[in-house]
Amino acid sequence: MSERASTCTSSGIPLAEKGSTTFPCPGCFKPIGRSPRVRNQGVLYRCPNCGFEGP
């Protein structure tokens, strides 16, 4: 995957912190960004492209 998300998909904060991650959406393969805080809290995300939801 060459594309990377620059902001958290759930919170909208920049992915500058250690522990941030980017991965392809399981539904459409567009990048999903997750900050360490939302990952630790288990906040759901929704892909803005296809609507796929995940933990």
- Domain coordinates of the chain in residue numbers? 1-43
For the chain, the 3-state helix, strand and coil shares in percent, each to the nearest 5, are 10, 25, 65
Quick one: pLDDT at residue 19?
Answer: 92
Quick one: pLDDT at residue 55?
Answer: 85
Q: What is the pTM of this model?
A: 0.85
Quick one: pLDDT at residue 2?
Answer: 63
Task: Give the residue ranges of the chain where pLDDT is below 50.
Answer: none
- Of 25, 19, 21, residue with least CA distance to 50: 25
